[in-house]
Structure 1
Amino acid sequence: MGLSCHCQDLDEDLHQRIATEMNLSETAFIRKLRPTDDFTTSSRFGLRWFTPANEVPLCGHATLASAAVLFHIKKNPNSVLTFVTLSGELKTRQEKDHIVLDLPLYSTYPQALQEVEELIKAATGDMKVQDLRYSPDTKKLLVRLSDAYERSVLEELQVGAQSFLSAEKTGKVKGLILTLKGKSNGKDKGHDFYSRYFAPWYGVLEDPVTGSAHAVLSSYWSEQLGKKEMLAFQCSRRGGELKISLRDNGRVEIAGQFSIVLKGNLTL
């Protein structure tokens, strides 16, 4: 779930207070880069993201929400919108009923089990873990469950993410990804991999659909599957499908659908 707000000259503490009050995974704040800019005609904007607890360096779905507001509410005619963020410049474009995000691609590295064993047990119980990776750029831990499991096992897994806070002893993990290889047969064929994402360190017990996690997952699964074009599904309660395309410039394009569900004015 992403909420997008147009903001200009907001007091610094108001960003966090608004995000805390909204209580969504992330609230995005779009701002003009120059006083002469206009939300309906300009092609470059500033963008910041806040969880209920913290500012974060990257959020995919709230970026998608921001682009959807500019394209569909503000009727911005530009083919590409660029957001200046803590993760550099992020470009977005429309493609039929999807919005395509251009995100950094983050590598993962093998992670020793003994360092995070208590955290893994808190997340997965006695489930078999096939691979363990860490992304130092994003501070995300990627836990790949055994290929023997079905998608339904990941969906039905009861995860008490609040317990991660005491179980994580290294201080280096700020997000935990559970992921599972897709099946080549059955009713769900076509999805290359599945995932769920938890970030209680940022006040988000479980995120519905996570662009930043897929900037990590895309790197890992491309390496594992030998593919640059993939279809993924995040198995949260709400769920969401993501189309993934790795580029040769160390970036990844992630496309997702959007829906405008609420418009309103916020009185400060």
Structure 2
Amino acid sequence: MEIPVYTLDAFTNLPFKGNPAAICPLLHELRDDLYQRIAAEMNLSETAFITRIDPSENFTTGSRFRLRWFTPTTEVNLCGHATLASAAVLFKHKKNVNPKLVFETKSGDLAVTQQGEGYVMDFPLNPTIQEDANEFRDLIKVAVGNHPIQDVYLSANTKKLMVRLADSCDRSVLTSLKVDPVALQSSETSGRVKGLILTMKGSPDNQPGYDFYSRYFAPWNGIPEDPVTGSAHTVLGSYWSKKLGKNKMLAYQCSSRGGELELEVRDDGRINISGQSVTVLQGTITL
């Protein structure tokens, strides 16, 4: 069996920046264990599998597809960068003729439209609840050491914990943090947390005007640090929209690769996440 595979860097327009995802458009469903083994072989934070819903359609004419995402160790319920990359494969490489694509996923229907050089994803918004920092004292200590923090919020739906650094911290504090993924995972074993977001207020007055910065760690799902994370911004968008009093925001995830996301929190309780992507590899998996 031969399976086409594309590797795209998402939330960037430059190769080797943003977040790489492997995308496999499939003519037929595979066994779950095979999906997982392919994802382990690709060894990126996500490998996505696109399958047709209507067998009479193809990747050029169809407008609805099934989409699943796998980390090297597990299947996940929501992934932004691999959704963006999947849409890019269909629009760019399969020359899909539709203005909008809809993916049926574990997080419901996710629509993606082309906009200029990039893509706009219609995603769920994941609100947060404020938590007592002492409940996550060990995890926070591993992540930020003695740096001051000012907010701890949890998105119970996504199991993402968000820790906001104090406004007195410079951006360099966030970018220079060395987070030990093994210590992080062992510091939180209750099952309440499957991902850690570190964030801080941005510098909207300085070009290009980022409203906030973030980094994201998910060793519980086999991802020590994810370079640019769409799903984390369903949480960040909810939090920062309230704190900043604005619906449209420009965000930067300052991992070593870095990536930019445009956000628009909508009145219907969802969020538009926009970004660009670039293809860096095309090949075939032979089984």
Q: TM-score range by the shorter chain?
A: over 0.9
1:88 aligns with 2:108: yes
Aligned length in residues: 267
Q: TM-score, normalised by structure 2?
A: 0.91
* Partner-residue secondary structure (3-state), 1:36: coil
Structure 1 segment 101-180 matched on structure 2, within 5 A: 101-180=121-200
Instruction: Percent identity, please.
Output: 57
Q: Secondary structure at the match of 1:107?
A: coil
* Cα distance in 1 for residues equivalent to 2:176 and 2:127: 28
How many Å apart are 1:9 and its aligned residue? 2.6
Which residue in 2 is equivalent to 1:224? Answer: 243
> Alpha-carbon deviation of 1:184?
4.1
After TM superposition, give the deviation of residue 111 of structure 1 in Å.
1.1
Q: Distance in 1 between matches of 2:170 and 2:251?
A: 15
Amino acid at match of 1:152: S
Aligned equivalents of 1:232, 1:165: Cα separation in 2? 26
Partners of 1:183 and 1:242 lie apart in 2 by 15
Counterpart CA distance in 1 for 2:138 and 2:64 is 44
Residue of structure 2 equivalent to 1:248 = 267
From 198, 208, 213, give the equivalent of 2:227: 208
Q: Deviations over 1:72-120 (max 9, x none)?
A: 0000011000000000000001111111111000000011122210000
Aligned residue type for 1:250:
G
Q: Which of 12, 30, 40 does residue 60 from structure 2 map onto?
A: 40
Amino acid of the residue matched to residue 17 of structure 1? R
Partner Cα distance (1:107, 1:204) in 2: 23
Judging by fraction of residues, say which structure has more strand.
Answer: 2
Instruction: State the partner residue of 2:24.
Output: 5
Instruction: Name 2:44's counterpart in structure 1.
Output: 24
1:237 Cα deviation (Å)?
0.7
**Aligned AA (1:35):** P
Alignment correspondent of 1:52: 72
Q: Find the counterpart in structure 1 of residue 215 from structure 2.
A: 196
- CA-atom RMSD, angstroms? 1.0
SS across alignment from 2:282: coil
1:196, distance to aligned residue in structure 2 (A)? 0.2
Residues 1:257 and 2:269 are matched in the alignment: no
User: The residue matched to 1:264 in structure 2 has which SS?
Assistant: strand
1:115/1:170 contact within 8 Å kept: no
TM-score for the superposition, normalised by structure 1: 0.97
Distance 1:217 1:14 in 2: 33
Residue number in structure 1 paired with 2:17: none
Tell me, in whole angstroms, the C-alpha distance in 2 between the residues paired with 1:222 and 1:231. 11
Distance, in Å, in 2 between the alignment partners of 1:75 and 1:113 is: 49
Of stretches 192-201 and 1-10 in structure 1, the one that deviates more from structure 2 is 1-10
Q: Is the 8 A contact 1:123 1:161 kept in 2?
A: no
Shift of 1:161: 1.9
Query: Looking at both structures, which has the greater relative contact order when contacts are Cα pairs under 8 Å and sequence separation is at least 6?
Result: 2
